[in-house]
A and B are shown apart, each in its own frame.
Chain A
C-alpha cells in the first residue's frame, strides 16, 4: 500500500533515492508544491551546447558534405560524405541523453523534473528526423525548463518559436502565396517563359499540430479552414542563417522573415486577426492558450499522466477549472492536481514506461550514468529510444501501449543485466526498503529472500509488480 510520502515520491516524482521518502514524510503536499516554483534547473554536470551552436555546426557539416560529394569519385566516398552529418549531430544527441538521465537520477526536485518530461512529451520533437537528431534535447532544456512553472501561453510561445520545433514541423520554408518573396519570384519568372516555376506556398504541419496536439486537441472545435488560415498566419516563423530563402538572420536562432509572411487580415476560429507580422501568430497563441478546449485537453493529459489511464472526469474538471480561473498559470493547475483526492489512491495506478523504469532504477540504486552508452543501450533495448517518439504526438501514456509481452521480456533482460552489474555494491533488501517504503509487499520480500543470488534478488525487486508501477 502506498502511503502519502510514497505517492508523492513514486507517483508524482521519478522514484525514490534513499532518503527521498523521509524528505517528503512530514508534508508530502508541501514537498511537491515547493518544486513548482521558477525555472526547472537541470541537475548533473554534463555541459551541453546551445541549439544555435549545434545548428551552425550542422550548417558547416552540410557545406562540407556538399563539397565532399562533389569531389567524391567512388560510391564509398559518397557514403563517407554522408557520415559527415551524422558525426556532426551524434555527439550532441548522446550528450543530451546522458544529461537527461543524470538529471533524472540525481535531482532533488523529481516532481519538477517529471513535469519537464511531461511537457517535453506534450511538445514532442523526434530525433529520427534530419537535423532534429542533434536538436531534440535543446527544446526541453531551452524552451521547456524556463517556463514549466510559468503561464502556459509563455511556454507555448517559447516552444513554437524554438528552432527544433520549427524545423521538426517544417515551418521554416512555409511561404505565403501572396508574400513579398512569392510576388518577387512570380514577377521575375512570369514574362520570361512558360517553364514551371517552383511553387511558393504554405506548409500546414506546424499549424495543424499546434491546434491538434499542443492546444485545443483534436475534438477542440477547429476545422480545415482554421488550419489553413493559421498556417498563413505562421508564415515567416523561421530560423536564421540558412541558404537561399533562409539566408540572413542569426544562424540557428528563431527569425521572423517578413518577406515570407502572408500579408493581410486572417480569420481563425471566427475571429479576425489584423495584419501584424509576427505579433499576429503570437496573438493567436495567446487566444489558443486561453481557450476552454485547451484547458480541458491539458487537464486530461495531466490527469492521465499522474492519476490513471482512464482519467477520472472529476479530476479533469477540477484541473480545467483551475486552468481557466488562473489564466493558464501552471503552478495553480499543478496545485489542483496535488489537491485531487484521486491522485492519492493508495493502490499503484500507472504501469511505468521504460523511461520511468530506467530513471526509478537509477535512483533506487543511486547510480549516476557516466557515459551515454550506459543509458542509450537501456532505452534501445526497451523500445523507448530517448527523444524519438517518431511522431509529434509523443509517446503514449497508457499501459496498453507499453505492456506487450515482448516488451516485458526486454524489461526482464535489462533488469537482470543491471542487477548483475550492480548487485555486489548493494544490499537488495535495503534497496527495496528505501525504494518502495510501505509499497513493498511481503511476497516480494519473501521471493527476494529465497533468491539464489543477490543479483537475482535485485532483479526480482526491479521486476516486482510494485516496482513496475507507480
Chain B
C-alpha cells in the first residue's frame, strides 16, 4: 500500500490538472451567468466528496460501536476531518458564486442553512474529539456522527422537495447540459473524489501512527516509574 500511494498521488495530481484545464478552457461559457458558472466544477465535486467522506465516517462509526475496533475509530476521525475540509470549500465557493448571480453572499435558504448545520455538526464532532478527556469520547463521537449523518439526505433532497433560492439539480433533475460541460464536471468529480480519498488515507495513517507513539510513550513512562522504585 505504501508503494501505491505516490503512484496514486501522481495520478490524482494529473487528473486535477486535467480537470482544471477542462473547467477553465474546454468547457463552454454558460449563457446566463457567464464565466462565474465555472465555479460549479469545483463547488459540486467538493460537495460530493464531502458527502462521501461523511458517509465513510458514518460506516466507520457504526463499525466502531459494533466491534470497538480502534482502526475504525481512526478512520471515522480522519474521514470527518477531511469531510469538514471539503464542506468548508463548499461554504466558501458557494457565496462567491452567489454574490454576482443572486446579488447576495448568503441567504437563509433551506439548502444553504442545512449545509451550514452539517458543517457545524462535524466541527462539533472534531472539537469533541480534540478536547474531551473522557474515556468514552470515541463512543459519544460515534453516536454524534451517526446522528449527524441524518442531515446529509436532508441537504441533498432539500432542493427536490422545497422551493429554494439554490438552483434545482441540472444533472439527474431533468435539465439539459452541454456534453463538454458534463465532461468537465465528471473529470473534476473523479479528480476530487480521488484527492479526498488520498488526503483521508494520509490523515488515517497519521492517526494510526500518533496512537502508536502515544502508546509507546505511555509504556515508556510506566517503565521509568517502575525502574525508579
A in complex with B: no
Chain A residues within CB distance 8 Å of chain B: none
